[in-house]
A and B are shown apart, each in its own frame.
Chain A
Amino acid sequence: MSAAAPSGPGAEVPLLELRGVTAGYGRIQVLHGVDLVVPRGEVVALLGPNGAGKTTTLLVATGQHPVSSGCVHVAGRHVNGVRAEELARLGLCTIPEGRGVFRSLTVRENLRMASYRGVDESLLVERAVARFPRLGERLGQVAGTLSGGEQQMLAMARGLATDPALLIIDELSMGLAPLIVAELYELVAGIAREGVSILVVEQFARTVLGVADRAVIMQHGQVVAAGVPADLEAELSAAYLGASP
């Protein structure tokens, strides 16, 4: 969890770096100095019970929520105050919680929206279908009528079509059956093997720990533990259930 030096070749610059970030809503402070680093080519899981500040951390990292103090760096660039759509055009790819698709648009139109991040429209569908063949059969279908798992696949397909260096996923498993969650995480693992860095926020810690290189546990708006998954089992049980099972 050490901060990479800003100088030197790009490989050492973490793709995402939060330093001492505080943020809040109105007078209510939610994040109290969060440090978080996503090194190049790694999968980082952000864990913690509800209300710990995970989602706010993501909103801050993706430019959807202002930072009160501290700083956010994306690929070595200071991006405090940069708007979400500008970060997106830079290649930051985010799959927000629960609803990563435009429900009233068709699958094809959903994919098409990725073109605002600077990819040729003709390539988009081709790439998405190559990765997720199941979507190919449903290009004309309205996204809201897809199953929950397919919607997440579509969201991932749209995100990955621009070949981002960093993928941020919030609550991938939200409301989905365990089998589908397992299938989705297999996809995530596949994407990670291609060298894409991934930051994934997850309620269900164990599900994601099989995929993650590192895990960060948040509680009460602060990072309380960080490390490799194997070391964190005990802390997790304590944070979630109050006793080791």
Chain B
Amino acid sequence: MSILETTEISVRFGGHMAVDGVSLRVPEGAITGLIGPNGAGKTTTFNVITGLQAPTRGKVHLAGKDVTRLSAHKRARAGVGRTFQRLELFGSLSVRDNVLTAVELNRVPGEDPRRAASSHLERVGLADLAGVRADTLSTGNARLLELARSLACRPRVLLLDEPASGLDDEETDRFADILGELAADGLAVLLVEHDVPLVMRLCHDITVLNFGRVLAQGSPSVIQADQQVIDAYLGQGTDVGAAR
């Protein structure tokens, strides 16, 4: 059962189709990959799903309910969480307060917000940095903090926009472990990532976008063998070299 489903969503910026008829299904308990070269429309797709960008066409369903016209904060409360490619931390707040804000906005009766925030920080390994200002974090830690913050919103679907860029190998491994645990807990994860090897390792199902359209969809081995995908990533060989 896919908890999140987009149907033929399109976004037009002026004369340019940033997203053109993209249909996705994100099932619970699995990590779904969304990859593609720069400018393929991945972040715009995320913005449509989270309600930051209204689609020109198409529908977004969450748990079978049409949420296309719902505002961003209501969608968040309905269970859509995300991180940002261009980090959107609350830089003037401490690391703890970043998570605490998220906990308070999505409170469960009877829960101690501070304790909940601490446990989220521990999960991503930032407990030692709880007191520092968020804008002093390294990229790797900042991405982990965004992950912790989005988890504190108790999402049913988690959208991660290039969470591993700027992470070193060790951090990437830790991050991959956390993602695996989350999926095992039943969370639906949609992962946009430029580190394609990582995507191949983590995802059960991958969608490749190019020029706003779906280029290929399938399991990692199918994607790796797809000539169109290879061309989209590496480019087509040109014959101009022969002239030299």
Could you tell me which A residues sit within 8 Å of B by CB distance?
26-28, 49-51, 171, 173-175, 178, 181-182, 185-186, 188-189, 192-193, 202-211, 220, 236-238, 240-243, 245
CB atoms of A207 and B236 under 8 A apart: yes
CA distance A178 to B215 in the complex (A): 15
CB atoms of A241 and B196 under 8 A apart: yes
CA distance A181 to B244 in the complex (A): 18
Q: Which residues of B contact A174 (CB under 8 A)?
A: 38-39
What are 23 contact pairs spanning A and B, CB under 8 A?
A51-B166, A171-B38, A174-B39, A178-B236, A181-B238, A182-B236, A186-B238, A186-B243, A203-B37, A204-B235, A206-B237, A208-B235, A211-B240, A220-B168, A237-B234, A240-B196, A240-B233, A241-B196, A242-B197, A242-B199, A242-B200, A243-B200, A245-B225
**Known pairs A49-B194, A192-B244; A28 contacts B138 (CB<8 A):** yes
Could you tell me which B residues sit within 8 Å of A by CB distance?
37-39, 135-136, 138-139, 162, 165-166, 168, 194-201, 211, 224-225, 229-231, 233-244
CB atoms of B194 and A51 under 8 A apart: yes
Partner of A50, one of B138, B165, B236: B165
CB atoms of A51 and B162 under 8 A apart: yes
Q: Shortest beta-carbon distance, A166 to chain B, in Å?
A: 18
Q: Shortest beta-carbon distance, A3 to chain B, in Å?
A: 25
CB atoms of B236 and A189 under 8 A apart: no
Q: Which residues of A contact B199 (CB under 8 A)?
A: 242
A186-B243, A240-B196, A242-B224 known; 4 new pairs, CB 8 Å cut-off, are A174-B38, A193-B244, A206-B235, A238-B197
Q: Which residues of A contact B200 (CB under 8 A)?
A: 241-243
CA distance A174 to B38 in the complex (A): 8
CA distance A237 to B233 in the complex (A): 9
Partner of B237, one of A171, A207, A238, A241: A207
Partner of A204, one of B37, B39, B242: B37
CB atoms of B224 and A243 under 8 A apart: yes
CB atoms of A210 and B242 under 8 A apart: yes
CB atoms of B196 and A185 under 8 A apart: no
Residue of A nearest to B201 (CB): A242
CB atoms of B224 and A27 under 8 A apart: no
**Known pairs A206-B234, A241-B224; A186 contacts B240 (CB<8 A):** yes
Q: Shortest beta-carbon distance, B141 to chain A, in Å?
A: 10
Q: Shortest beta-carbon distance, B36 to chain A, in Å?
A: 11
Residue of A nearest to B223 (CB): A241
Q: Which residues of B contact A189 (CB under 8 A)?
A: 240-241, 243-244
CA distance A72 to B39 in the complex (A): 31
Q: Shortest beta-carbon distance, A96 to chain B, in Å?
A: 14
Q: Which residues of A contact B211 (CB under 8 A)?
A: 175
CB atoms of A206 and B236 under 8 A apart: yes
Q: Which residues of B contact A171 (CB under 8 A)?
A: 38
Q: Which residues of B contact A238 (CB under 8 A)?
A: 197
Top 7 nearest A-B pairs (CB, nearest first) are A204-B235, A242-B197, A210-B241, A207-B235, A51-B165, A50-B194, A206-B235
CB atoms of A240 and B38 under 8 A apart: no
